[in-house]
Structure 1
Amino acid sequence: MRLKINLIGVLLIFALAVNAQKAMTAAMKQTDVLVRHVDSARILKPTFVSPRTVENGQFKMVVSRDWTSGFFPSQLWYFYAYTKDEKWLTLAKKYTDDIKKEQFNTTTHDLGFMIYGPFGNGYRITKDEAYKPIIIQAAKSLATRFNVKAGVIKSWDHNTDKWKYPVIIDNMMNLELLFEATKLTGDSSFYKLAVTHANTTMKNHFRPDFSSWHVIDYDIETGNVRNKLTAQGYANESAWARGQAWALYGYTLCYRYTKDPIYLAQAEGIAGFILNSKVTPDDGIPFWDYNDPEIPNASRDASAAAITASALYELTGYSRNGKRYKAAADKILASLGTANYTNKLGDNYGFILAHSTGHRPAKSEVDVPINYADYYYIEALLRKQGVKLR
């Protein structure tokens, strides 16, 4: 009987691996379509460098300073790492180079997404030394946004009527750039800055159930919290789904770099909040906000699901709860790979996933394909197959 059960387990693992390979093949075919649309769009508007979404039937590209500009070339780097096909290498280099100037951008906290994604992947995969100083300069630019008194990196410079020194949970994702800068330079100041930000965020951003506020506004004279708010969630006290996914991923990567058990415990707590939710449908794809009163008649967020799945696969390797996390990630990934969430070949201009929610309160990018959903979906597929990414 045990032999039979073990055989069934082996066959199931094999089937899941085969499905992941098929999903990767389908994703690359779909991205071929996307590349053609990108190239056509750039003939008309050369300053627009990356595809972002399809909204109201319109294909939307962004300039390099957009916070999402790095996801498309980062995805291409993953395809090259997976296939070693020179086609993907050529494309990845081309679209990565278009974002290079943002290494000097000190007006955004999103340099991890914009620079470390494409240039970090490029450096890791090819060891091209030309990418190294760009990563380091981007870390220096990000460091200028750190306030010693508050102990955090400022997220936004806009809407000063709403907040004075806003820090959003998304900012946890950009700490990877700082950790890597210390590895590349030996300068521990980047590492210390990242740890300080992570610790301050852990202290002020989370509720007892490990759900997170979206925005914390600080007083930089005293370092105290002025207010706890949302920008993209349903309400100040609600749990915005993508924010919870950013938090899970962010503290998981903090544990990767530091091996400090407080970050592992934080990641596990956040995972518990996400996986214990009573409102998430059986397929594991969350609604855009866990507290939207319109549930179940609310939009889903495939991007939050993809980010969560990728983070759970990594967390699996660190935690005693690994089996639970892997099972949850497998379920999410299987759901995203169905026709319910994956676009048919050629549909939606070549984006892979449908049904993400960007900024529902602003009625922006609601129930659409979006580039970061595709990127983290590909990352999760690679992690599912045991491909080493970091």
Structure 2
Amino acid sequence: MRHSLPQVSALRTLGALALGLAFASAASAATDESTAKLISRSMNAASTQYSGMLARVQPKPGFPRTVENGDVKQVEVKDWTSGFFPGSLWYLYEATGNKTWRAAAADYTARMAPAKFDKSHHDLGFMLGASYGNGYRLTRDPAYRDALLAGATTLVTRFNPKVGSIQSWELWKNSSWAFPVIIDNMMNLELLTWSSRASNEPRYREVAILHADTTLKHHFRPDNSSYHLVDYDPQTGAVRAKVTVQGNANESAWARGQAWGLYGYTMMYRETRKLEYLQQAHKIAAFFMDHPRLPADKVPYWDFDDAAIPAAPRDSSAAAITASALLELAGFSDKAAAQRYRAFAEAQLRSLASPAYLAAPGENGGFLLMHATGHKPAGKEIDVPLNYADYYFLEALLRLKATLPKH
């Protein structure tokens, strides 16, 4: 039966309200499960889910990204998310020591090889860092080191000294942008700072700092929320436009964009010890944590300014990224702030590990987290699993585990 538009709207609202009740239940769920047991249970769930998914997808080319029409959608190596699946496999190996995960991670990391020479991407930090970066950290395979250095050399070709930034997207045929830079690009700078140390080449670090400084100057509003994209004049460096492509509106606070900024400036403080980066990370954390439209379970709506709240979609990926970032930021904070950041991050992880977000065994295409939102304005990946939500969830769990007393 074909529903009229008012009926469809009503059905969607009822569905969103039902989902909201489930989220509220997650927020008020008992917290008597120990932190260690929370981590162990979540990692066991990850092993179960990824074992099933790996058996289905490994013989096929590509990298699992999401679920589409009931099936796992695989993407090519050129997709910006390609590195997250091998990265999650490396995290499973790190968590368990199981050599099966190491072998699978090595297989999928090898499939990433073409990315290191892809000059069309600013996302090489995501793509290579999650795969080769974790692989090198855990195995010290010199081939992984070489791949990371090659990727850094490729990435800096997108740097414009007049702008002081690395260009993000290519120039789309239907856009008026001249030199677009998105807040997500902060996440790619760790590849450069690491490569600078590994190769004793200061140029990589200089580019990373210049990019972070330019972003700090132009991306943030007075309330410390960020625009998604700033467009520059490549000849002069002047700002041409400030917009929020993947958010609700140009002046809205797209949740995942806030998470990228928080994570990026926390990481850049770790890498440089520049105080202004730490200060910005604290400001972004305050904006996120104290926002009046943050739900009780601390998993944000996809955009803090969507007029449909509380019937707006959530974004579990933004929560996972934020939790991981806050756990690192806690290590650079005074005692009171550190306790608050860790408590908030753990509350987020408890929500994500609840039945409201963590998939039942064998469901969700084998992915861990439900209710992520990719690009709502484009009608893409709304209320679905996403490989980067899983990746940062696993990373946050490992970071939380590192805070526990050693026995």
Same fold (TM over 0.5): yes
Correspondent of 1:144 among 151, 157, 181: 157
Please tell me whether residue 26 in structure 1 is matched to residue 45 in structure 2: yes
2:189 alignment partner in structure 1: 175
| Structure 1 residue 117, shift from structure 2 partner | 1.2
Question: Counterparts in 2 of 1:102-121, with a 5 A limit?
Answer: 102-121=115-134
1:158 Cα deviation after fit = 3.3
1:229–1:237 CA contact under 8 A, matched in 2 = yes
Greater Cα offset, 49-58 or 88-97? 49-58
SS of the residue aligned with 1:144?
Answer: helix
* Unmatched 5+ stretches in structure 2: 1-30
2: distance between equivalents of 1:201 and 1:369? Answer: 29
**Counterpart among 281, 284, 288 of residue 270 in structure 1:** 284
Q: 2:54 aligns with which of 35, 54, 58?
A: 35
Q: CA deviation at 1:23?
A: 0.9
Question: 1:100 and 1:13, CA in 2 relative to 1: closer, same or farther beyond 3 A?
Answer: farther
Determine if contact 1:147/1:220 at 8 Å carries over to the other structure: yes
Q: CA deviation at 1:71?
A: 0.2
Deviations 1:101-126 (A, max 9, x none): 11000001000111121101111110
Q: In the alignment, what sits opposite 1:208?
A: 222
Deviation, 1:387, is: 7.3
2:13 maps to which residue? none
- 8 A Cα contact 2:297 2:351, kept in partner: yes
Alpha-carbon deviation of 1:13? 9.6
Name the amino acid aligned to 1:33: G
- Residues 59-79 of structure 1 show CA distances to partners (whole Å, capped at 9, x for unaligned) of 200000100000000111111
1:56 matches 2:69: yes
Question: Superposition pairs for residues 91-102 of structure 1, below 5 Å?
Answer: 91-102=104-115
Q: Are 1:156 and 2:169 matched, yes or no?
A: yes
Find the aligned partners of 1:128 and 1:163 in 2 and give their Cα distance.
41
Match of 2:401 in 1: 385
| AA of the residue aligned to 2:162 | K
8 Å Cα contact 2:43/2:95 also seen in 1: no
SS at match of 1:385: helix
In the alignment, the residues of structure 1 paired with residue 402 and residue 207 of structure 2 have an alpha-carbon distance, to the nearest angstrom, of 31
Shift of 1:363: 0.3
Count of equivalent residues: 371
Residue aligned with 2:34, SS: helix
Structural RMSD (CA) = 1.3
Q: CA deviation at 1:14?
A: 8.2
Is contact 1:181-1:190 (8 Å) kept? yes
CA contact (8 A) 1:341 1:354 kept: yes
**2:395, 2:57 → 1: CA distance?**
21
Corresponding residue number in structure 1 for 2:10 = none
Q: Which stretch shows the higher mean deviation, 267-276 or 75-84?
A: 75-84
Alignment partners' CA distance in 1, 2:397 and 2:195: 27
Superposition TM-score, scaled by structure 2 size: 0.89
- Does residue 340 of the first structure (1) align with residue 353 of the second (2)? no
Alpha carbons 1:251, 1:267 under 8 Å: kept = yes
From 13, 24, 35, the counterpart of 1:16? 35
Residues in 2 aligned to 1:338 and 1:55: alpha-carbon distance in whole angstroms: 23
- The CA deviation at 1:57 is 1.9
Q: 2:92 aligns with which of 47, 60, 79?
A: 79
Q: Distance in 1 between matches of 2:283 and 2:244?
A: 21
Report what 1:8 is aligned to. Answer: none
Amino acid at match of 1:50: F
CA contact (8 A) 2:358 2:370 kept: yes
Residues 300-341 of structure 1: per-residue CA shift (max 9 Å, x gap)? 000000000000000011012111111110110000000000
Q: What amino acid does structure 1 have at the position aligned with 2:294?
A: T
Alignment partner, residue 198 of structure 2: 184
Task: Indicate yes or no: 2:232 matched with 1:218.
Answer: yes
Specify which of 59, 65, 68 is matched with residue 81 of structure 2: 68
The answer on whether the counterparts of 1:37 and 1:349 sit within 8 Å (CA) in structure 2 is: no
Tell me the alpha carbon deviations over residues 271-318 of structure 1, each in whole angstroms, 9 at most, x when there is no partner.
Answer: 000001111110000000011011111000000000000000000110
Distance across 2 between alignment mates of 1:55 and 1:244 = 26
Could you tell me whether the CA contact under 8 Å between 1:103 and 1:115 is conserved in 2?
Answer: yes
Instruction: Give structure 1 regions of 4+ aligned residues with deviation exceeding 3 angstroms.
Output: none
Give 1:193's match in structure 2, choosing from 188, 207, 210: 207
Letter in structure 2 aligned against 1:17: A
- Out of 316, 319, 323, the position equivalent to 1:309 is 323
C-alpha change, 1:262 and 1:26, in structure 2 (3 Å) is same
